[in-house]
A and B are shown apart, each in its own frame.
Chain A
Amino acid sequence: MRKEELQQLPPEKFERITIDSSRAERITKPSLSFWQDAWLRLRKNKAAIVSMVVLILLIIMALIGPHLNGHDGETQILRHANLPPKIPGVENLGIFDGMGQLGGEKVNLYEIKKVDEYYWFGTDGLGRDLFTRVWEGTQISLLIAFVAAAIDVVIGVLYGGISGYFGGRVDDVMQRIVEILIGIPTLIIVILMLLIMEPGLTAIIIAISITGWIGMSRIVRAQTLKYRGQEFVLASRTLGASDKRIIGKHLLPNIMGIIIINTMFTIPTAIFFEAFLSFIGLGLQPPNASLGTLINDGYKVMEHQPYFLLFPAVIISVLMIAFNLIGDGLRDALDPKMKD
């Protein structure tokens, strides 16, 4: 294009471009909230994701499992006692085919006892269907764990939060109490509490929660102390924010992550304690069943019917592994700075 032609171009053809300095800082992707960010990190953790799927499956099974095969966990059919597992379809593969020991010989107990039904996990000494009982037990164990964990969270967060937020003399008194309580071994106090209460669901939950909150309260207190002294809280206070607003808007969101992480480790501890107490005979009483009592029952007949022990043992182990792995994953995702 020649110079003359250029000069003949009408001014409308030109557009003024201004360099907008603010565009240099433009964020090209939508900004992520803390939780979205954490989810991105958690998603990369395969172990945690697999555990979540497994956990969800276990919870679903705990809810619908007892209704799946038409037996219920209470009915005692003595003629059907001590049957080994038999699962339709799988039986042709040579496992779970109803073969069991009788007088030192391997025989099909279902044929001998003329049982047409299938007991997927076998039956116990009273002829109750173990499949149903195992999932009912899982339900109870999960229930105890969730309720105990919820109580721990509520008491722990309140106690730690009040102690840390108000500080001063309140904190002093509250921490002296905790210092004495923390010296008492958890197991001892749990067993003593169970000794004096009527055995049952509530007793176990109370016994587990009675010391369970201490760990949570210490963590929450330390975090509250840390954030309470920071500038953004001071700024908010200067602007006239009330205690309620500071706690709700500034402190809680900041310590939420650590509360969730800690809860994820409280749940498996509660599952363990319930099973432990039931195993030494202090937990749930018959006819109620939890994973702990089932393991205890199974242990007694381990020699002859190992599957009785095996199924609840596997389920409790998988549950514990899943919770621990999810806890680990959440810890890495929610608080990348924290190591342990």
Chain B
Amino acid sequence: MVKYIGKRLVYMFLTMFLIATATFFLMQTLPGSPIASYNKLNETQRAIVEKKYGIDKPKPVQYAIYMKNLAKGDLGTSFVFKGKSVNDLLATRVKPSFILGAQAMVFGTLIGILLGMLAALKQNTIWDYGSTFFAILGVSIPSFVFASLLQYWVASQWHLLPVGLWNDGWKSSILPSIALAMGPLALSARFIRTEMIEVLSSDYITLAKAKGANGFEIAFKHAFRNALIPLVTVLGPVAAGIVTGSLVVEQIFAIPGIGEQFVSSIMTNDFATIMGTTLFFSALLIFIIFIVDLLYGIIDPRIRLSGGKG
């Protein structure tokens, strides 16, 4: 176990290093300059600005400085927001993104589990077809299409909830959370259905039935728990989906979160912020997948972590 964690940590470190390096050099080839009205500045002004942001030194030196700061957890200074460090910029934006992501995750998986169970217990009935169809919709409809439609109908036509922004407390978070939750909902519903159907046909369920356990007991006490275990494996893709979705959903609902920051920093060529957010997202996803793999091994002792993947 310790050996496995060690190996994984080494890989995570390598991956992060690779991403940081690749991002740094990709940023150098980026067309355009992050400094607004760069062309209007004269030589001396340019030199001053370049010195201020440390882009006057040769590339390898810049790279070394960047990596050194990164090791200390310093993501650099934003080019667009005057003198603000990327760390501060991200720190103010973590909260909305986190709230949306967490709500979408919890809401999505819970409803998904319920739908999946309903489908499995009432297999080949209208309930099953209904929830399977719903799950297919959730997997298929792109989050930004769903988010735009939600915004149009619920917010701007029916005036039920705020159209956007983050100034109406919890109410502001409902629509974006629902838009983000569709993916996790659909994934977990499909997954739980398959697992439940398999578990329901196993011997110990027959035994439970023979002992006279009622349907409710069988479903929740025996089948559900075992069907739940493999669900942990889809949490990785689910988290990735939420991060992907958050870029557009935050954009649509004008939520001041990290996803919105990422997209707007791309538009303004803000190198330091693009790199900072990229690294933040990568670290987040890599960490989540690591935790998911560990959890899986802990929850289900039959899976031996050191065995590696076939």
Contacts and interface: CB of A to CB of B under 8 A. Distances in A.
B191 A340 contact: yes
Contacts of B267: 281
Interface string B21-56: 011001001110000000000000000000000000
Interface in B240-259: 240, 243-244, 247-248, 251-252
Interface string B123-154: 00000000000001101111011001101100
A239 interface: no
A339 interface: yes
Given A183-B12, A185-B240, A340 B252 contact: no
Contact of B243 (A180, A187, A317): A187
B274 to A, nearest CB: 8
Contact of A280 (B12, B151, B247, B289): B247
B156 A303 contact: yes
B295 interface: no
Given A180-B11, A196-B30, A340-B191, A185 B263 contact: no
Interface in A311-331: 313, 316-317, 320-321, 323-325, 328
A268 B136 CA distance: 12
A24 interface: no
B286 interface: yes
B152 A302 contact: yes
B82 to A, nearest CB: 23
Given A185-B282, A192-B26, A299 B148 contact: yes
B194 interface: yes
Given A183-B286, A321-B136, A324-B139, A188 B19 contact: yes
Interface residues of B, number: 47
A188 B136 contact: no
Interface string A327-339: 0100000000001
A225 B310 contact: yes
Contacts of A186: 240
Interface in B171-198: 190-191, 194, 198
Contacts of B11: 179-180, 183
A195 B191 CA distance: 36
A149 to B, nearest CB: 16
A323 B142 CA distance: 13
B278 A188 contact: yes
A196 B251 contact: no
A118 interface: no
Interface centre among A185, A186, A295, A299, by most B CB within 10 Å?
A185
Contacts, number: 113
Interface string A192-210: 1101100000000000000
B310 to A, nearest CB: 5
Interface size class of A (residues with CB under 8 A): 35 or more
A306 interface: yes
B149 A313 contact: yes
B148 A339 contact: no
A183 B142 contact: no
Nearest to A340: B194
Interface centre among B148, B152, B248, B252, by most A CB within 10 Å?
B148
A206 B12 CA distance: 26
Contacts of A272: 142
B140 A320 contact: yes
A227 interface: no
Contacts of A295: 144-145, 148
B8 to A, nearest CB: 10
Contact of B140 (A222, A302, A303, A317): A317
Contacts of B248: 276, 279-280
B80 interface: no
A302 B148 contact: yes
Contact of B278 (A192, A222, A275, A309): A192
B78 to A, nearest CB: 17
B27 to A, nearest CB: 8
A59 interface: no
Interface in A71-103: none
Interface of B: 11-12, 14-15, 18-19, 22-23, 26, 29-31, 136-137, 139-142, 144-145, 148-149, 151-152, 156, 190-191, 194, 198, 240, 243-244, 247-248, 251-252, 263, 266-267, 274, 278, 281-282, 285-286, 289, 310
16 contacts: A183-B12, A185-B243, A195-B274, A196-B26, A275-B144, A275-B145, A276-B248, A279-B144, A279-B248, A280-B248, A282-B266, A295-B148, A299-B144, A320-B141, A339-B194, A340-B191
Interface of A: 179-180, 183-188, 191-193, 195-196, 222, 225, 268, 272, 275-276, 279-282, 295, 299, 302-303, 306, 309, 313, 316-317, 320-321, 323-325, 328, 339-340
Q: Kindly list the 8 A-B residue pairs having the minimum CB-CB distance in the complex, ordered from nearest.
A: A183-B15, A320-B140, A321-B140, A313-B145, A185-B285, A317-B141, A187-B244, A196-B29
Given A275-B144, A316-B142, 12 more contacts: A179-B11, A183-B11, A183-B282, A183-B289, A185-B240, A187-B281, A192-B26, A196-B29, A222-B310, A225-B310, A280-B251, A306-B152
